[in-house]
Chains A and B, each alone.
Chain A
Amino acid sequence: MTDSLPATLPLPTPNAESRAFWDACADGRLTFARCTACGSVQFPPQKSCTACGGVTGEASEASGQGTVFTYTINHRAPGPAFAARAPYVIALVDLAEGPRLMMNVINCAPEDVTIGMTVRITFEQRGEMALPQAEPV
């Protein structure tokens, strides 16, 4: 037998390239870094730009407005911690600034979520960290 099932919800593990993003989340701010050379927004946060190879600079705060591009209502959780939440919505949300984030759509009934639905960012406190989540406007 291999692999034990996680009993607690997983936390992101920040690294040198993502720590500023997660620190900002803990302050209730969603931020995106832009490439200093071409201006492309980089998400997930990383130091080199995927568009031109340039270096990303200081992050700026996002509007927190987004649109659901697609979603699922997930019934088969990856372990007991998520099973306690199932069924739950996982969505791809396109933020006004461009990046596409995966988030849960919370604070509404799963069956009320639709493609094209407008959402805003809220934060879920999980341990010492804050996770960006989506909720109806």
Chain B
Amino acid sequence: MGTSKAAITGVANTACGKLEGSTCLGLHAQVARGAVADAGLKLGDVDGLLCAYSFTEPHPMLASVVAEYLGIQPAYSACVSAGGATGGLQVMTAKALVESGMCRHVLCLTGDNRLSGMAPGAAVAALAQFGHGQFEVPYGITIPAAYAMVARRYMHDTGLTASDMAHIAVTTRNHARRHPDAQMRKPLSHDDVMASRVIADPLRLFDCALISDGAAGILVSAAPTGNGTDVRIVGAGQKNTHEHLISAPRDLQSFGCKFSACDAFAEAGMTTADIDVAEIYDSFTITLAIELESIGFFAKGSVGEAVSDGALDLGGSLPCNTHGGLLSFGHSGAAGGAFHVVEAVRQLRGQADDRQVPDATRAFVHGDGGILSAHVSLILERQS
């Protein structure tokens, strides 16, 4: 078993969707106060601050800007930027900061109001700039198009089908319908997904993550605060293989998730069989399918049938993305992947209400940034 004493002592999230009147910094403040209050602490107790990046507040020193807005002067502050892996990477970094003795309470904040704070289509255009400026962007690449190319090849190689991916979208929506803060809570059928408009063939509208306003806060402490259930960070791992799709592993299968998860499981002294609930990055349905198979929760070529048989449902073999994920809970930039961490903590504390996985003790959390480029895996454990 892992020896780390680092614990997640507080979590908070805003609702997701179009939050009229919101600002990036205002959303940060909301979850900053929420996370420390959840831990029974005050903002003044925070001696480490990790922020990320924002489209609507594009200051390169966002951690300093957020600290100024909050009126705090933490002993340590920095920005962590790894796209969808940011939330997990903040927690991994905070774990190291508290284990080293540099900090006692590290507040990890992510948030953006990229739905209400940007012109229609501007977020899609801004995200396209993640492509290589000389060798991808001139060809009209978008993030959905890049994942669509990965999907096309993965389907060709493993037999995964568009129908299989539609089952992922439906399962995820069913989870979101049990979360009061989720952006998409209307019923979604398999037929609805299959009939939705094509974004980048073979990906359709409901295969793709949302664009949302929202924020998440996670407080990582050197030891439990004694305020509620103790959630320990017992394993963490990272692996980045590339940034741009043209430089990805040639088979478009050997992504970093396999390796980051392997390191996290090794540190925790666990295997996939020990996991009660999984919160895994789902920027697209294909993202989740590849990660579930690469990490080893399902054999290659089997995830489609497993999902259609209910494996990811609350009563399934691996309840997954129980908050509704990026597909249906919300995706507000770096906070998108942080919501997975927040949900894992709630599951382990038994605070997930209608979506609670009974007696969830061990959670696996995974974030992916870029085009399956940057990967961070976490294993969290409830300890009594």
Contact = CB atoms under 8 A, between A and B. Distances in A.
Contacts, number: 131
A3 B245 contact: no
B111 interface: no
A115 interface: yes
Contact of B140 (A3, A13, A88): A88
B122 A72 contact: no
B140 A74 contact: yes
B139 to A, nearest CB: 5
A102 B150 contact: no
B284 to A, nearest CB: 12
A40 interface: no
Contact of B149 (A5, A43, A85, A91): A91
B119 interface: yes
B201 A73 contact: yes
A76 B156 CA distance: 23
B216 to A, nearest CB: 22
Interface stretch (B32-40, B129-137, B158-166): B129-137
A12 interface: yes
Given A70-B156, A70-B252, A102-B246, A5 B121 contact: yes
**Contact residues of A: prevailing secondary structure:** loop
B117 A90 contact: no
B262 to A, nearest CB: 24
Q: How large is the interface on A (under 10, 10 to 19, 20 to 34, 35 or more residues)?
A: 35 or more
A103 interface: yes
A13 B132 CA distance: 11
Interface stretch (B89-97, B192-200, B312-320): B192-200
Q: How large is the interface on B (under 10, 10 to 19, 20 to 34, 35 or more residues)?
A: 35 or more
Interface in A55-96: 69-79, 82, 85, 87-88, 90-92
Nearest to A1: B119
Given A71-B152, A100-B246, A2 B122 contact: yes
A76 B222 CA distance: 46
B126 interface: yes
Interface string B203-219: 10000000000000000
A9 B128 CA distance: 13
A90 B198 contact: no
B24 to A, nearest CB: 11
Given A75-B197, A102-B246, A5 B152 contact: no
A78 B128 contact: yes
Nearest to B145: A74
Given A44-B132, A75-B201, A70 B153 contact: yes
Interface string A120-137: 000000100001000000
Nearest to A21: B134
Interface string B143-174: 01100111011001000000000000000000
Interface in A34-55: 43-44
A13 B198 contact: no
B141 interface: yes
Contact of B245 (A10, A88, A102, A126): A102
14 contacts: A1-B118, A2-B126, A4-B122, A11-B138, A12-B133, A13-B134, A43-B135, A43-B246, A44-B135, A78-B128, A82-B140, A103-B139, A131-B138, A131-B139
